[in-house]
Chains A and B, each alone.
Chain A
């Protein structure tokens, strides 16, 4: 029975069946079945791993990634308040924002959603983030990584400015920098001095996972 409800939670997410997934989560919360919240959270995480693989293999696309992420977010919002403190260990802190001049947040939000479900403590700096706010976030939160999102070609110079400023303020060697967004490429990342370029949220999460265990 316990396995059955965890299967329902996982399969609901993988079949993009929001109602079935939420029903399973509520059943666990009510204590109908003897399953710990930690086991439920792990089931959601496992499902999202499979979602990520489907996306990277080209079987699922952005719409499915977004919708499964939204279902997972809804379920995690139900489960998280019941998690005992320390029940799950954070994989690390990552601060993320969309660069100055750019108000787009779809890609950033998918990344935050996905990385959060993978166990990261995500600090959302928002959109149109000025250079100093990125710097302040690195000082304050001492994150494992700083993420910058940029959709527009017209705002891509902002990424270089932030990386330069990290260097000027002796912070560059204290944080990894990962960038992503429609305007950017691997070559751009190298030229700007970033540590990594993520073409999508799933790859981005894989990269910070590698940094997390290194």
Chain B
């Protein structure tokens, strides 16, 4: 029987391991707490107390890296407890600011110039969502970069420390897969908003080139920092798709970002590591580009955006490792055990022959149910043994 590392690495080489590996996308504290049986901290009540809000903001800002380490330490513990072979790990640099516009009166401003709202979901969990950019104009963007120069260095240093510490402490029990989480496309448009960005693409192409070049350099350093943790595989990504297709024409994406993506692949491959690429949305029209840019695999394949594993495998063959595709809008939130088992069998049938498939949820959010994740893993162990016979 293989261990988790052999299982994942064999799969990434498009060879058949002992059984289909299962990767966790646990990131939200609410999910980790439920799996680990930890009573959730009632941060929401504290945030609603005006006397405590400022204090919590200051504590979060002064201990940001520790909080993130704690989150992903718990995420890895939770993933180990459920039996995942790997789980993603993320570092990002954000500043908590008071903002009465939002439900809890707090927003997060990240290093890429984006505003994230902190709010509670229907179950009372804290969730954060991207809302808008802080740099709607060219002048705003240049000012943002100048003002944050020292913090970009801080991001790189902290990211290296974060991923190294997680790898040191957990890689004997699970494969932590460092994820950059913010891609070049996202960081370029989200700092100014999609509508503004598209106007700039057509009306100020030189400015857009500057933004992309800056973000590419930062991304390369960020990815390099993750690779200092001596992980075998890294996760890059950019949400290039939306519900019905790519956010931009593939030839325009190639023109604006193609060279950046090639440079990223070369950087990873020079260090003999594998590069897995995350993209939400409907990305059939970009799959051939992913191969051309040198990605080793893709993760997500959102079923709610029409992505089907069988179709993806048919289109790209074994030129890409495939990870994900299990639905998180219904199946892993409130699906029955039979439905989860059927979905796992279908995924294995559609993509696992010959290796090159890692079973996983398509994404994560706080309403993904740990029991459904357990059913997913159980079904993978039951039906995922090679040679595949489902």
Give Cα distance in the complex from A185 to B328, angstroms: 12
Answer whether A70 and B195 are a contact pair too, CB < 8 Å, given A16-B202, A152-B129, A157-B122: yes
Give Cα distance in the complex from A124 to B335, angstroms: 35
Answer whether A200 and B244 are a contact pair too, CB < 8 Å, given A70-B199, A152-B129: yes
Q: Report the minimum CB–CB distance from B34 to chain A (whole Å).
A: 15
B131: A residues at CB distance < 8 A: 103-104
Give Cα distance in the complex from A187 to B252, angstroms: 33
Q: What are the interface flags for B202-221 relative to A under an 8 Å C-beta threshold, 1 for contact and 0 otherwise?
A: 11000000000000000000
Give Cα distance in the complex from A108 to B285, angstroms: 24
**Interface hit among A61-69, A78-86, A87-95, A136-144:** A61-69
Within 8 A of B (CB), among A186-214: 187-188, 199-200
Pair A63/B367 contact, Cβ less than 8 Å? no
Q: Report the minimum CB–CB distance from B5 to chain A (whole Å).
A: 32
Pair B243/A200 contact, Cβ less than 8 Å? yes
Which bracket fits the contact residues of A?
20 to 34
Pair B246/A61 contact, Cβ less than 8 Å? yes
Pair A63/B198 contact, Cβ less than 8 Å? yes
Pair B195/A66 contact, Cβ less than 8 Å? yes
**Contact of A155 with B by CB under 8 A:** yes
B194: A residues at CB distance < 8 A: 66, 106
Pair B329/A156 contact, Cβ less than 8 Å? yes
Question: How many pairs of A and B residues are in contact by the CB < 8 Å rule?
Answer: 85
**Contact of A18 with B by CB under 8 A:** yes
**Contact of A101 with B by CB under 8 A:** yes
Q: Report the minimum CB–CB distance from A105 to chain B (whole Å).
A: 9
B245: A residues at CB distance < 8 A: 58, 61-62
Residue of A nearest to B125 (CB): A154
**Contact of A153 with B by CB under 8 A:** yes
Give Cα distance in the complex from A104 to B132, angstroms: 9
**Contact of A184 with B by CB under 8 A:** yes
Pair A60/B203 contact, Cβ less than 8 Å? no
Chain B CB within 10 Å — which of A155, A185, A187 has the most? A185
Within 8 A of A (CB), among B354-384: 365-367
Chain B CB within 10 Å — which of A152, A182, A183 has the most? A182
**Contact of B248 with A by CB under 8 A:** yes
Give Cα distance in the complex from A159 to B252, angstroms: 35
Q: What are the interface flags for A110-125 relative to B under an 8 Å C-beta threshold, 1 for contact and 0 otherwise?
A: 0000000000000000
Pair A154/B252 contact, Cβ less than 8 Å? no
Contact of B199 among A67, A153, A182, A187 (CB under 8 A): A67
Contact of A155 among B121, B203, B304 (CB under 8 A): B121
A106: B residues at CB distance < 8 A: 194-195
B201: A residues at CB distance < 8 A: 63, 67
Give Cα distance in the complex from A106 to B117, angstroms: 16
Give Cα distance in the complex from A184 to B242, angstroms: 12
**Contact of B119 with A by CB under 8 A:** yes
Within 8 A of A (CB), among B127-156: 127, 129, 131
Pair B304/A185 contact, Cβ less than 8 Å? yes
Pair A18/B243 contact, Cβ less than 8 Å? no
Pair B122/A182 contact, Cβ less than 8 Å? no
Give Cα distance in the complex from A188 to B248, angstroms: 27
Residue of A nearest to B247 (CB): A62
Give Cα distance in the complex from A184 to B245, angstroms: 15
B280: A residues at CB distance < 8 A: 182
4 tightest A-B CB contacts, nearest first: A154-B121, A63-B248, A67-B198, A62-B247
Would you give 9 A-B contacts (Cβ < 8 Å), ordered by A?
A: A63-B198, A63-B247, A63-B248, A102-B129, A103-B117, A152-B127, A152-B365, A153-B328, A184-B304
Q: A154-B122, A154-B366 are in contact. List 18 more A-B contacts (CB 8 A).
A: A16-B202, A60-B249, A61-B245, A61-B247, A61-B248, A62-B248, A63-B247, A67-B199, A102-B129, A103-B117, A103-B129, A106-B194, A152-B129, A152-B365, A153-B329, A153-B365, A182-B281, A200-B244
